[in-house]
């Protein structure tokens, strides 16, 4: 099936199998390997991206469902080489270790701060509970999101 979408500002058109998952489409057909696959049950959040401005788990969407969609992945977070404040905050507060969950975690944090620019600690923990991190114990991720919130 033909599927078109705009990813990080670039228009793409591909002929894909109907069963192709969006995450595979991004990784295999566009080479955007910053979006990771950590599970196959929508549980881990490593594949979190933005579809039309809303976070979505790209392992649970078919590519063809996103025909015409505007998609943003971790590769599109920085603008003109300038890191997004959330990216900066993750580095500043040591909010990552192995880095595997980090792209999804950053996009979920972005969604939270869009909706709630000054979240409490509890609101941050609730907002990122769909994203597993096995390295950090979440402590510094929470601090990174708080730091990012203070920047805006």
20 vs 70, which CB is nearer to another protein?
Answer: 20
In the complex, minimum distance from the CB of residue 84 to another protein, in angstroms, rounded to a whole number? 9
Q: Which residues bind another protein (CB under 8 A)?
A: 17, 19-20, 24, 27-28, 32-41, 43-44, 46, 73-75, 77-78, 83, 87, 90-92, 94, 96-103, 106, 121-122, 124-126, 128-142
43 vs 65, which CB is nearer to another protein?
Answer: 43
55 vs 73, which CB is nearer to another protein?
Answer: 73
In the complex, minimum distance from the CB of residue 49 to another protein, in angstroms, rounded to a whole number? 10
- Among residues 28, 36, 22, the alpha carbon closest in space to that of 133 is found at 36
68 vs 91, which CB is nearer to another protein?
Answer: 91
Alpha helices (H) in the chain, listed in sequence order = 22-24, 85-92, 102-115, 121-127, 139-151
In the complex, minimum distance from the CB of residue 20 to another protein, in angstroms, rounded to a whole number? 8
DSSP-assigned letters across all residues of 116-135:
-SS--HHHHHHHTTTS--SS
- Among residues 11, 22, 5, 17, the alpha carbon closest in space to that of 63 is found at 22
- Among residues 63, 56, 46, the alpha carbon closest in space to that of 100 is found at 46
């Amino acid at each position: 099936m033909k599927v078109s979408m705009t990813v990080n500002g670039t228009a793409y058109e591909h002929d894909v199998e109907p069963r192709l998952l969006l995450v595979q489409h991004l990784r295999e057909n566009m080479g955007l390997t910053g979006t990771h696959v950590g599970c196959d049950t929508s549980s881990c959040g490593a594949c979190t991206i933005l579809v039309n401005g809303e976070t979505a788990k790209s392992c649970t969407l078919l590519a063809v469902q996103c025909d015409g969609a505007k998609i943003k992945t971790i590769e599109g977070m920085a603008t003109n080489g300038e890191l997004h404040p959330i990216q900066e905050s993750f580095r500043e507060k040591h909010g990552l270790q192995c880095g595997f969950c980090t792209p999804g975690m950053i996009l979920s944090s972005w969604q939270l701060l869009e909706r709630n620019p000054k979240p409490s600690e509890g609101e941050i923990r609730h907002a990122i509970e769909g994203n597993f991190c096995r390295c950090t114990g979440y402590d510094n991720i929470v601090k990174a999101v708080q730091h990012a919130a203070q920047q805006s």
